[in-house]
Chain A
Amino acid sequence: MSNRVTELLRELGSRMVDGWVWRLGFACRFLWRLLAESGTSFRRFHLTFREIYFAGVLSLVIILVSGLFVGMVLGLQGYDTLARYGSSEALGVLVSLSLVRELGPVVAGLLFASRAGSAITAEIGLMKATEQLSAMEMMAVDPIARVVAPRFWGGVLSMPLLAALFSAMGVFGGYLVGVRLIGVDEGSFWSQMQSAVDFREDIVNGIIKSFVFGVAVAWIAVFEGYDAPPTAEGVSGATTRTVVTSSLAILALDFVLTALMFRGA
């Protein structure tokens, strides 16, 4: 009996160390290499600019539409709860703080992971599978500098902008439902929002969150793509892993960041 347990533990440990810890170490070394090779992404900014277009601009539709709907739902739910306490004019505060502090970065991050992260992984993985990366290397061009780093920075720079647009769109959605549809007083909706939302406490912290999520998603996406086995199953598996891992990473990081930023304040 105790033998079986020992064996089980040993098996678990070896899987953890060989599979997970080893991969994490590999991913960290990859990130280090990527950062060291990032010069090209900024010297020749049009490379990164192109990736901002693919990761950021092409994600706009899903981000803006989702933001609008999340804001409208917040308006409905928030009004329902606030009205019970007779403070429905605080709706603007509720909508804007929820969005700027939490929902903006987190939901935009999740959408970004599934829209742009998966695309980055699939593209790099397919470039590897079709030997485009090897060909580049044989042409004396480092694929990490030329292909991976611009996609990483494109993702990192897009994410805070997308989260900000998501929040702005959400506030507008809350306004549409709260003020236009339900009839909360427009003046108090905006003025309470203005006085309650602090730039440093709320907005800057929200931007920091979305920046951290951007780094996490972009890192996971480029790593999974670069590390994908060069086959059809390999690339599809890597794409799935990107979405799953980055979603979990966003939620876990969100908890850590929130605990650091807003504890007992």
Chain B
Amino acid sequence: MQDAVATSNLVEVENVTFSYDERRVLENINLVVPKGKVVAIMGLSGCGKTTLLRLIGGALAPDKGEVRVAGKAVSRMSDRELFALRRRMGMLFQFGALFTDSSSFDNVAFQMREHTRLPESLIRDLGLMKLQAVGLRGAADLMPSELSGGMARRVALARSIALDPMLMMYDEPFTGLDPVSLGVVSQLIRRLNDELGATSIVVTHDVAEALELVDYVYYMAAGKVEFHGTPEEVRAARLPSLHQFVYGEPDGPVPFHYPAPEYGQELLAQ
């Protein structure tokens, strides 16, 4: 299947426009993710980053343009092809989205049991290997409610690499983690990418962490790609909104105040 891909890009997003009902979320997005790289999509909350991931995963279809994964247009796939593609994708959700009714191990084994006919003894070994990779083999029998936020994120990571995906997508993997867990997750993203020979897309607004971790950055604002480049280029960029974003300045092109009538007038009225 992989041989059919002529280009060296695993994911190609071409002129994609997308709206929820009337609200335009993405406008004319162009973006490529080369094989084997870790690419960050950064931007403020609500700029359409997660929507972009959902388009790549085929959960949504673009209004205009095309999303190609491994050379094939996702929106033109049949349900069957889409499901086959998703078996080769892993996605880490913002808060892990572990199945609360099963143990860590059963969460990791979920896809193996659903999609393969491996004997239970082999599933046990594979599941423990995946948990070992994220350092949580000892937590195999714990339920999600017994895990800390960082541990849950790591179990979810083990679950998403269960079938050795070619493409990993991370939706805000750093949100709400303490500094230690954050470092662990960040290091895991890099290590798993390089060891599995996978390609990764990290959607995040955690600037410091992402710039350390990734190979390439796409910066989005208001549904458009405003800037793209290597982490060094991002740090040096002169674009005002990107500068505000990278250095976390409270006021700038993104205003501190939500649009409102003039302050004095509103206080004096009645």
Contact A135–B86 (Cβ < 8 Å): no
A interface secondary structure, majority: helix
Contact with B along A128-139 (1 / 0, CB 8 A): 001110111111
Which bracket fits the contact residues of A? 10 to 19
Known: A138-B86, A140-B115. A131 touches B94 (CB 8 A): yes
Contact B91–A132 (Cβ < 8 Å): no
Which residues of A in the span 101-143 have a Cβ within 8 Å of any Cβ on B?
126-127, 130-132, 134-141
Contact A131–B114 (Cβ < 8 Å): no
Contact B83–A134 (Cβ < 8 Å): no
Given B89, B93, B110, which contacts A131 in the complex, CB threshold below 8 Å? B93
Contact A132–B86 (Cβ < 8 Å): no
Which residues of B in the span 79-110 have a Cβ within 8 Å of any Cβ on A?
83-84, 86-87, 89, 91, 93-95, 97-100, 110
Q: Which residues of A contact B86 (CB under 8 A)?
A: 137-140
Contact A141–B114 (Cβ < 8 Å): yes
Does B57 belong to the interface (CB within 8 Å)? yes
A141, closest chain B residue (CB): B114
Known: A138-B91, A140-B115. A130 touches B110 (CB 8 A): no
B82, closest chain A residue (CB): A140
Bound complex: CA A134 to CA B54 (Å)? 10
Q: Which residues of B contact A139 (CB under 8 A)?
A: 86-87, 110-111, 114, 160
From A130, A135, A136, residue with most partner B Cβ within 10 Å: A135
A residues apposed to B, CB below 8 Å: 126-127, 130-132, 134-141, 146
B residues apposed to A, CB below 8 Å: 57, 59, 83-84, 86-87, 89, 91, 93-95, 97-100, 110-111, 114-115, 156, 160
A-B contact pairs, 13 of them (CB 8 A): A130-B95, A131-B95, A132-B97, A134-B59, A134-B93, A135-B97, A138-B57, A139-B110, A139-B111, A139-B114, A140-B84, A140-B87, A141-B111
